[in-house]
Each structure stands twice: as structure tokens, then as C-alpha cells.
Structure 1
Amino acid sequence: MEIVTFILQGILALMFLMAGFGKVTGSKMHMEAFTHWGLPQWFRIVTGIVELAGAVLLIVGYWYSTSAMAGALLLVITSVGGILTHIRVKDSFKDTAMILFLAILSFVVFFLYLS
């Protein structure tokens, strides 16, 4: 089961590294998304930093399981916020599916380390 946890953890870290980096560097897609959601651009940067921090915690978690648990929990909370944002602006399921998948994956990684 440890191998499965490490694989899921790696996928999750990679996804949030990419998403966080895009938000912090101001990719056009993320800038337009935050405008669409009615959120200020400074919040995009904060969200990107939180995502990068969660991804780094997951990477450090390969050596320190407490770090992986903290990173996964941070990303669960961040993902739930993203899901609620999509629901608030009535985005389609297609637009919400990725953050929903990442929330579930984050919860699974957290639960695997918890047990």
C-alpha cells in the first residue's frame, strides 16, 4: 500500500506544482479564470503560493510522513475552496471536475497516511 500512496502523492504534488506555478507566474488562463470567478488577482497569487507549499510538503513527505499529511490536508482545504468557487459562479461539471478529482486525491493521500 505504501507504493500506491507514494504514486498518488507524486501525482498530486506534480499537479499542484504546475497549477501553483501557473498562478504565481500569471498565466493567461489563471488570470482569466480568477476574473471570471470575480476574485482579485492578488488572491490568485496567494492561492498559487498555498498550492506550491502543499506540493512541497508532499515532496518532503516522502521522508517525513507528518509533512505529507499536512500537505495533503492543506490541499484538501484549498481544493474544497476551489470547488465552492466553481459552484458559486455556476460553472459546469466539466470545469469543476479537475479540482474535484484533486480534492478526492488529496483526501485519499491524507487518509492513507492517517491510517
Structure 2
Amino acid sequence: MTATTRSIVVWIIAGLLAFAFLGSGITKLLGVEMQIKNLESWGYPLWMRFPIGLSEIGFSIGLLIPAYRKWVVYGIFGWGIVAIYTHIKAAPPQYGMLGGPVIFLALATGLFFMIKKTTSK
């Protein structure tokens, strides 16, 4: 893969992740009913929507800044592990909701390795 193609793919993946995290963060901050119900079903206090939503918006911004992208991907790895744990430990377990965090982690992993190849040359 040429450097130009790799750069385009990195921007596409970063853009998709940024868009998804922005939407998720905004809905948490606005207190959309679905997000409130999710937080309650996970056993989190409702005030947690603010730090979670702000971190997700921070991910979306950081993904679009190449200098911070690698650090944001590390944050997404942590977020994904917590999200998977949350869905498994929910009462009842929400195995059907694992797809989102797993896909986000897969995209972040791909992004990580593409960034690593770009910076190692």
C-alpha cells in the first residue's frame, strides 16, 4: 500500500470513528432518553453521562488531529474494555450491545497499526 493510500485510509477510519464518537457523546450530554435508560440498566449514576459524553467528544476531536491520534487510540482501547465489561456485567447481560464496542476496537486497532507503519518509516 502506498503512503498516499495509507493516509487516505487512516483519514477515512479516523473520520468514521470521530463521527460515531461525536454522535454518542452528544446524545449522552443532551440526556437522550435511550442514553438515560442505558446508564440506568448498566447501574451507572446519571451524572456519569457527562464525563463519558465529554470523553467521547474528546475522542472525536482528537482523532482528527494527527499529532494526537495515537494517544486517542490508546484512550479508545481503554474505553472499549470498559464498555465491553459494562455490557457483560449489566443485569441482565447485554450481549447484543457488544457489537458497537467490538467494532470500535477493531477500527481503532486497524488505525493504530496504520499509524504505526506511517510513523516508523
Q: Does 1:2 align with 2:4?
A: no
Unaligned runs of 5+ in 1: none
Deviation of residue 77 (structure 1)? 1.1
Q: Deviations over 1:13-54 (max 9, x none)?
A: 000000011111111111100000001111121111111111
Tell me which residue corresponds to 1:91.
94
RMSD of aligned residue pairs (Cα, Å) = 1.2
Whether 1:60 aligns to 2:60 is no
Asked whether 1:13 is paired with 2:3, we answer no
The whole-number CA distance in structure 2 between the counterparts of 1:103 and 1:44 is 21
Match of 1:26 in 2: 31
- Aligned counterparts, 1:30-41, within 5 A: 30-41=35-46
Amino acid at match of 2:58: A
Preserved contact between residue 73 and residue 107 of structure 1 (Cα < 8 Å): no
Q: What is the SS of the residue equivalent to 1:52?
A: helix
Q: TM-score, normalised by structure 2?
A: 0.84
Q: Using the TM superposition, give the Cα deviation of residue 83 of structure 1 relative to its aligned residue in structure 2, in angstroms.
A: 0.7
Kindly provide the amino acid, as one letter, of the partner of residue 96 in structure 1: L
Instruction: Determine the C-alpha separation between the residues in 1 that align with 2:28 and 2:109.
Output: 22
Identity %: 25
Superposition deviation, residue 59 in structure 1: 1.2
Which amino acid is 2:81 matched to?
V
1:95-110 superposed matches below 5 A: 95-110=97-112
In 2, Cα distance between the equivalents of 1:24 and 1:106?
A: 23
Partner of 1:39, secondary structure, is coil
Shift of 1:4: 1.0
Paired residues in the alignment total 110
Q: Which has the larger radius of gyration?
A: 2
| Over 2 Å off, 4+ runs | none
Name stretches of at least 5 consecutive residues in structure 2 with no aligned partner.
Answer: 1-5
| Cα distance per residue 1:43-80 (max 9 Å; x no partner) | 1211111111111101122xx3xx11112221221121
In the alignment, what sits opposite 2:79?
78
